Structure 1
Amino acid sequence: MQRSSTEGPSQYPHCLSSGRTQEAHLIRKGEDMENENKKSIKERVALRNSLVKEALAEFLGTFLLILFGVGSVAQTVLSRGSMGDPLTIHIGFTLAVTMAVYVAGGVSGAHINPAVSLAMCVLGRLSLCKFPVYAVCQFLGAFIGAAAVYGLYYDAFLDYTGGVLTVTGPNATAHIFSSYPGKHLSILNGFIDQVIGTGALLLCILAILDNKNKGAPKGIEPLMIGLIIMVIGVSMGLNCGYPVNPARDLGPRLFTAIAGWGTEVFSAGSHWWWIPVAGPLVGGMVGAVIYVLFIELHHVDPQKTPEEENSMKDKYEMIAMS
C-alpha cells in the first residue's frame, strides 16, 4: 500500500513543538538549578555576624596599608634611591590609605588605625566593646603586611644587607618597617610630635565625613583621607617619619623582632617603640574632641530663606490650581 505524500514530519508539527518546549523547559530548569546552587553556596559562605565582617575588613584594610606603604619605603631604600625618594614614599602611603579605605570603608568604616577606633569610641560612634577586636585585627593586618613586604623583597634584602639585618648603621633596614627617631629628637618632643600629627589626622577625617560641614563628595572621601596623610608627610615627617598609627608601627616592629633584627628594634632610640603607640592614641582623642568642640557642636540646621519659602509656596499653589 502506497504511503500518502502528505505523511512525514510535516504531519506532526505538534510533536516537534512539544519537543522544543520540553528542551527549553529542561534548559530553564538547569539554569534555575545552577542559580540555586550559586545562591546556596553564597548563603553557606557569607558571614552573618557583623563584628566578624568588620574585623576581617579592618584586617584586610590594614594589610593593604602596610603592603603598599611600607612597600614604597622598601623599594626606595633597597634600590639605594634609584627607584624612589621621600616624595614617592609620601605618595605610596597616600594611595595606600586611599585604597585601604575603599576596600574596607563600606564594611567597618576602614579605621585601619587604633587611634581612629579609640577616638570613635570617645565620640560614641563605635562601641567600646568593639575596640579590642578592631585593634587586634589592625595589628595583625600590619604584622602580616610587613611579612608580605619582606617576602616580596627577600632577595633584595639579602643583596642590600649581605644577610646581616641591622637596626642601625650604613646598611640598616629596620627603619623600612617602623619609625625611629632622628638624632636630634628627644622622647618628649617625639611624643608631642605624635600627638599633634594624629590630632590633625582625626580632626581632618571628621571634617571630611561631616555632612553638615563642607565635607567631601560621596565616593571621594577615601581619596581626601589619603591626602591628609600626604600633607602630614610633607610637613611633619622630619622628626620620626609620621607613623601616626600604633598598628602601622608596632605590628611591623614585632615582625622585625621575630624575623631577624632582634630585640634592638625595641631598645633603639632610648626605647622609642612606645612613643608611636601611646602618642597617636592620645592625639587621636585630642583631635576628635577639638573638632567636636570647635566645629560640630555649633552647626545650625539649614533654614530656608524667605525667597525659597515663597518660591515653594507659589509652586504648591500652582499645583493646587491645575
Structure 2
Amino acid sequence: MRERLGRTGVWLAPPTLAVTPADVERRAATRIEELGYGSLWSGETIGGKEAFAHHGILLAATRTLVIGTGIANLWARHGAAMHGGGATLAQAYPGRFVLGLGISHRPLVEHSGQSYDRPLRRMTAYLDQMDAAADGAPPAPFPRVLGALRPRMLELARERTDGVQPFLVPVEHTARARRILGPDKLLIPHQAVVLDTDPVSARATARANLAARGLPSPYANNLRDLGYDEDDLAGSLSDRLLDAIAVWGDETTIARRVQEHLDAGADHVLVHPLAGAGTVPDPRPDDVPAMVEVLERLAPALPLGPSPAG
C-alpha cells in the first residue's frame, strides 16, 4: 500500500463535500488522479454523506486513485457494519480502499443523541466488534487506520491496526507518532495548506477554516502535549500555533512542509487546500473547483510519487 499511495494525497472536509453535487465530486476526483496525487480522503459526520456510499462514488469515478475514509465515524454504525462496509468496497476495488476510523469528539456525538465517554475503551471494544465480524464479510483485505492523536491511542493503533491518520497536527507530532508506532505502521498526517504569500490574508483564511470556533478538545489536548500553551490555544489561536498546523505561502513553501512531514517519518501526507468563497464551517457548492485549482498549482512542486527509497 505504501508504494501505491505515493508520498502526497488530498483530504477534503466533510462539510465541504456535503454541499457539493456528486457530479462535481466525480470530476474533482478524476482531476486529482490525473494530477498524480496518490489518494483522496474525506471524513464523515453523522447525518451527512454516509461514508461507504460516498467513498464508493469516488472509487467508481477513478481508476487507480486510493480512496480513504478520514475518518469513518464509529458512532454512525456497529463495528460489524463498519467491517462489512470496508470489505465490500475492498472486494469491488482491490488495493484501492483504506478504512480510516475514529472516535470523533464530544459535541458532535452528543448532538446525535449518544453518550461520549472513555474513548480509548470504546475504540478497543469497537475493534473487537470488527474483528468478530470478519468471518461473515466478503473475504477482501483492506488496511484500517485510526484517527489517533495521543500516545495511548497511537499505541492501540500500533497493536490492532495498520497505522494512523492524524488530523490537524504539526510536524513534531509526526515525529512523535513514528517513534510510538515503530517503523512498519502507516503514518498519514493531515496538512492544511493556504496558497497565499500574504501573511495577513493567509492566516485569516486558515483561522476562518480551522479555528473560528476554537479547537475541539481532542486537538487542543494533543497540542498541549506537544508544548503549546493556553496563550497559543486561546480564541482563534496564536500565529505560532496556526502556522504549525496550517502552512501558507507559495508552492515551494508548501512543498517544503510536506517534505518535513515525510522526513519526520510520515509515509504519505494529505494536503487539505483551504480555498474558495466558503469555509469548512460555512461551505459553498463551488468551493471544490477552487480547491482543485490550488491542487493543480501545487502538483508540480509536491513530492507525488513513491519514495526514492522504495
TM-score band w.r.t. shorter chain:
under 0.3
Q: Tell me which of the two structures has the higher relative contact order, counting C-alpha pairs closer than 8 angstroms and 6 or more residues apart.
A: 2
> Which protein is richer in strand relative to its size?
2
Structure with greater helix share of residues: 1
TM-score where L is the length of structure 1: 0.25
Structure of higher CA gyration radius: 1
